[in-house]
Amino acid sequence: MSTPTVGTAQVFRLPDLGEGLTEAGLVQWLVAVGDTITTDQPIAEVETAKSIVELPSPFAGVVTALHGTAGDTIDVGSPVLEVADAAAGAASEPTPGPTSGGAVEQEAYREEERAGSGNVLIGYGTNERAASGRRRPAVTPAKRGDSAVSRTISPASPEHEPIVREADAGHRRPVAVRSPLVRRLARDLGLDVHAITATGADGAVTRADVLRAAVDNAVDGAAAHHTAANTTSNAASIGDGTGETVDGLAVRARERMSPLRKAVSAKLTRSRSEIPEATVWVDVDATALWNLRAEMAPEGVKPPSITALLARFVLLALEDYPILASRLSEDAGELISFDGVNLGVAADTERGLMVPVIPGAHTLSVEQLDSALREVAASARSGSMPPERLRGSTFTLNNYGGLGVDGSAAIINHPDVAILGIGRIIERPWVVEGEIVVRRIAQLSLVFDHRVCDGGYAAGFLRRVTELIEHPLRAFGRV
């Protein structure tokens, strides 16, 4: 995973993160140069083709170098950071200049190291607490390009909640942050804690201070927006984005595709190139289902989602049409059928399209499906979905109606052989017994691999799903 370098320094290289991935995107550093870290401590968040994960360090010591900035792509085997022994790191630490308070801050830091604090990290105590086995989270570094930051810690409060103090090497204005939640809030809002006016005890920055600064920032940003927009527009008009032109147009920027987008691109390209797909669709009257849903939960309890109900109907229909939940062998010479269904559910996230999988979905009730769907959707959108939950589907459901569209020519999620898309359920004029009435209508679109079945079989499956939607009580054995 890594090899030692000169003296006691060690280089941590990006390990193989599994799934055959060859690179990862650096989301953010969780440590800074000069920090003392422990074995297995998270040092960075990286984005793979599957999810955002924390990268733990195999070494303990003082961070001497970070390789890359947020947004960079790091290849497997390339250096991530360098670590030296804590003693060596302390010996090589630069002496602060004559700026007021610098010598005091630096000496306090060294006193803490000699006392065993090891540059205490936010939210946890000293080495005594670390020895108990509780892993200490990393201190969020200053933004790239800021001046160096030295850290000290004041004596722990009676509640044993340490205060991390930071002093900017250029200005030496001490800042105290008691809570890791306050620090994370400031980071997420893009605020520098050194620029926030502290009102808490002992000069600590509080949550209210951070929120107040965020509001002030927003007001200032709004005032400057018009000027900034004009500046950007003028720059674009004279083509000074990258200094490059293509077909007579100035290139504004070039952005590398993220690992997730590359993985999605490869999978969809393979699907389009290998699968001779066909599509059948139908408009369905979902009025009865819409009305029944509100009655499916006790008063005060949230009813199951439309997606959960539709998923249950799909699973029932697949019992009669199991070929659509099968797979072809690699050489397409065999049809592999399964005893059950692993249901893939397309989820739109900020990082891109993901298809988390609910294994053994055919065994779940509507309530269990509803719970599972909410869980996988939340995990996918937060970037915490484990890689193993993103593979193994045998049929995919895509409720793109939530995106405000009625239909889509979906691409099959390889190696599945079919995907069912569901559009918006909206009020439309509909003919019922010769009369035009207002009904809730949705469009279902089934894309299937024409190698495994023909249109008649696919249409039969779609008719079965339509029947269950239009007569939902039949799905629950009441009629």
Q: What is the pLDDT of residues 20-79, one digit of tens each?
A: 567 788 888 999 999 999 888 889 888 776 567 788 888 889 999 999 888 788 888 889
Over residues 239-260, mean pLDDT = 74
- What is d(CA 54, CA 27) in angstroms, rounded to the nearest whole number? 10
Q: Is 414 a catalytic residue?
A: no
Type and span of the H or E element at 318: helix 306-320
Strand partners, 414: none
- What is d(CA 64, CA 7) in angstroms, rounded to the nearest whole number? 13
Of all residues in the chain, the percent with pLDDT exceeding 70 is 68
More confident residue, 352 or 139: 352
Band (166; pLDDT cuts 50, 70, 90) = very low
Band (407; pLDDT cuts 50, 70, 90) = confident
The 10s digit of each residue's pLDDT in 422-450 is 999 999 999 999 999 999 999 999 999 99
| pLDDT of 191 higher than 90 | no
The 10s digit of each residue's pLDDT in 73-112 is 888 888 999 999 865 544 444 444 444 444 443 444 344 3
How many other CB atoms are there within 10 angstroms of residue 124's CB atom? Answer: 17
| pLDDT of 132 higher than 60 | no
Greatest alpha-carbon span in the chain: 92
In this prediction, residue 254 carries a pLDDT of 80
φ, ψ of residue 88 to 5 degrees: the values are -65, -40
- What is d(CA 462, CA 282) in angstroms, rounded to the nearest whole number? 8
Residue carrying structure tokens 């630069």: 94
Domains of the chain: 2-211 (2.40.50.100), 259-476 (3.30.559.10)
| Model pTM score | 0.52
In this prediction, residue 164 carries a pLDDT of 43
In this prediction, residue 14 carries a pLDDT of 87
More confident residue, 409 or 261: 409
Band (143; pLDDT cuts 50, 70, 90) = very low
- Burial class for 81, CB neighbours closer than 10 Å (0-12, 13-18, 19+): buried
- What is d(CA 158, CA 125) in angstroms, rounded to the nearest whole number? 12
The answer to which of 7-16, 83-92, 148-157 has the lowest mean pLDDT is 148-157
Band (468; pLDDT cuts 50, 70, 90) = very high
- What is d(CA 153, CA 177) in angstroms, rounded to the nearest whole number? 10
> Under a CB-based contact definition with an 8 Å cutoff, are residues 175 and 202 in contact?
no
For the residues of 167-205, what is the DSSP string, one character each? EETTT--EEEE--HHHHHHHHHTT--GGGSPP-SGGGEE
**Residue partners of 446: CB distance under 8 A and separation at least 6:** 279, 280, 281, 418, 419, 420, 421, 458, 461, 462
More confident residue, 90 or 419: 419
Structure tokens at 324: 């659509």
The answer to which of 11-25, 178-192, 398-412, 448-462 has the lowest mean pLDDT is 178-192
Strand partners, 402: none
- What is d(CA 206, CA 237) in angstroms, rounded to the nearest whole number? 44
| pLDDT of 221 higher than 90 | no
| pLDDT of 228 higher than 70 | no
> Under a CB-based contact definition with an 8 Å cutoff, are residues 374 and 380 in contact?
no
Check 160, 171, 225, 450 and give the catalytic one: 450
In this prediction, residue 477 carries a pLDDT of 62
Handedness of CA 276, 260, 375, 302 (dihedral sign): negative
- What is d(CA 362, CA 368) in angstroms, rounded to the nearest whole number? 11
Cα-Cα-Cα-Cα torsion 282, 285, 288, 292, nearest 10 degrees, comes to 50
Handedness of CA 21, 27, 30, 31 (dihedral sign): positive
The answer to which of 52-56, 156-160, 310-314, 323-327 has the lowest mean pLDDT is 156-160
> Under a CB-based contact definition with an 8 Å cutoff, are residues 168 and 147 in contact?
yes
| 64 half-sphere exposure, CB direction, 13 A CA radius | 25
How many other CB atoms are there within 10 angstroms of residue 388's CB atom? Answer: 12
In this prediction, residue 338 carries a pLDDT of 94
DSSP at 472: G
In this prediction, residue 158 carries a pLDDT of 36
- Burial class for 423, CB neighbours closer than 10 Å (0-12, 13-18, 19+): buried
Would you give the distance in Å from CA 157 to the centre of its chain? Answer: 36
Maximum average pLDDT range among 135-139, 215-219, 465-469:
465-469
Structure tokens at 137: 């989270």
Average pLDDT of every residue of the chain: 74
Band (305; pLDDT cuts 50, 70, 90) = very high
